[in-house]
Structure 1
């Protein structure tokens, strides 16, 4: 099933996408697409609903983040060898972990407003793994049973904040709007092999990233097991699993986001995103 949330920011309602690609409302079945409904039993009951029996929603509705109450957004850095190479870094011997605050999460087509003083905004199309069954010290062989589904993530960065000065990834990855998720939360049963998905990202119609999730250095079962050594994973957590080559920083010369740019992302089976880049407006709000 493909779950979505639609409506104005802060007032999103639950929905799903039917076989013809139409948006339908799930409001009569649950209040929102939230972590409590990712439990395997509840999720199974939701998947048994026939979308054809649900009311159709107008296509003009905004799509919000595909999950209402993300617990934590855990990211894996340099998890594609070609991306590590373009960044001038050695492919890691074990996963590099960092986190984005939940305040960075945005809808898949929301405008991105660059932070004040930003000069090196960058893009990263990533496969997000949505946890449905929590745990700690999860065995790798059992890890996929903890997955509720998948979504697309744009791990947006400000490279100046990330790599210059004190060089903290937290500062470079955390601005409001730097974590669009969705448009869909696709349940695990609809993705036959999450390591065989095409991934691409265009900037102003120019193909910047064109890869496949099969190029991950560390695969999903290992990542879930590894991360659970250091923190408990809970329903509603998302793991962003890294990005293939083609980020702005890796171009020769580097190419960074500027007001007026448009990013368009797609991962096979997970839908499309589109973000228009705006300048800081001085109002104190993010994207």
Structure 2
């Protein structure tokens, strides 16, 4: 297995499936191993991502890439926890004269607030202030409570990417919480796939960027995080038990649309790319939400 094995959850032939994404198609591993591991989350819990990658690499694709629609990689995660203000320049954007806080700011998101790679992000009718936030994502492999920093990376199963789309005016609807503006249906994305975690060198200094219509808006490296991956896992597991398949969205750099003067909100037809070294590119267009 290489660090670039790509395991995805997709819809193909009107069914949800998981498998290996190759350059020339999709290998349906759920058709072969679904009785043992019904979902990618089940495979994560069993520590089977490497086994699946190796089995899939020897097979011919079952579907061409244009026959699949990407879903978020772990569609049934128990928890999706997001980190705010985790890069130095992002902290300075607040212009409040305060140094970086001693502990990370956290908030939850619901799976329904995300779509997969290649699916349009929703701009809801309640607000035109749809913004982008490119982020690196950790997926928990081994659960635990009060995990020491020294052992924290042993609890990672895989990496993926997130556009943590945000409705900016709705994060200020109340005195102290951002949950509303972070959870409009289909405003963010996760994907395209899971890249199995191998070792610390793989994540220590990932360069990543966010582009809107080809223009670079965000660019940074994980080596500059205020709260490194070890700290995040240790801190979050202090108050909640992490379980296999939990999704930790680790913070966005400076450069979101809200920080321009005037702000630059996402518009229908825009294309947003979040690209990271060793992980891939998460791409989504933007569309007005289809009201039911």
TM-score by shorter chain over 0.5: yes
Aligned with 1:189: secondary structure? coil
Distance in structure 2 (CA, Å) of the matches to 1:150 and 1:274: 16
- Residue of structure 2 equivalent to 1:43: 49
Post-superposition Cα deviations, 1:171-192, rounded to whole Å, max 9, x if no partner, equal: 1100111331110101002773
Post-superposition Cα deviations, 1:68-90, rounded to whole Å, max 9, x if no partner, equal: 31111101100111112124354
Change beyond 3 A, Cα 1:260–1:53: closer
Out of 24-33 and 234-243, give the one that drifted further.
24-33
- Check the 8 A contact 2:90/2:252 in 1, yes or no: yes
Post-superposition Cα deviations, 1:186-206, rounded to whole Å, max 9, x if no partner, equal: 100277331311111111222
Post-superposition Cα deviations, 1:254-274, rounded to whole Å, max 9, x if no partner, equal: 211122222122111222122
Post-superposition Cα deviations, 1:228-286, rounded to whole Å, max 9, x if no partner, equal: 01111001101000011111111233211122222122111222122211123332xxx
Aligned pair partner of 2:40 in 30, 34, 54: 34
Aligned pair partner of 1:65 in 59, 72, 95: 72
- Check the 8 A contact 1:215/1:244 in 2, yes or no: no
Distance in structure 2 (CA, Å) of the matches to 1:166 and 1:85: 21
- Residue of structure 2 equivalent to 1:273: 282
**Alignment RMSD:** 2.2
> What is the CA-CA distance between 1:32 and the residue it aligns to?
4.7
Aligned with 1:97: secondary structure? strand
Distance in structure 2 (CA, Å) of the matches to 1:115 and 1:191: 39
- Check the 8 A contact 2:75/2:111 in 1, yes or no: no
- Residue of structure 2 equivalent to 1:258: 267
Out of 273-282 and 106-115, give the one that drifted further.
273-282
Aligned pair partner of 2:159 in 150, 154, 160: 150
Residue 234 (structure 1) aligned with residue 224 (structure 2): no
> What is the CA-CA distance between 1:40 and the residue it aligns to?
5.2
- Check the 8 A contact 1:152/1:270 in 2, yes or no: yes
Distance in structure 2 (CA, Å) of the matches to 1:76 and 1:120: 21
- Residue of structure 2 equivalent to 1:24: 27
> Unpaired segments of 5 or more residues in structure 2?
none
- Residue of structure 1 equivalent to 2:17: 13
Out of 123-132 and 57-66, give the one that drifted further.
57-66
Post-superposition Cα deviations, 1:15-60, rounded to whole Å, max 9, x if no partner, equal: 1134x56432212123654322113543343244251324342120
TM-score (norm 2): 0.89
Aligned residues: 282
- Check the 8 A contact 1:183/1:270 in 2, yes or no: no
Alignment of 1:110-259 (within 5 A): 110-164=119-173, 166=175, 168-189=177-198, 192-259=201-268
Change beyond 3 A, Cα 1:239–1:9: farther
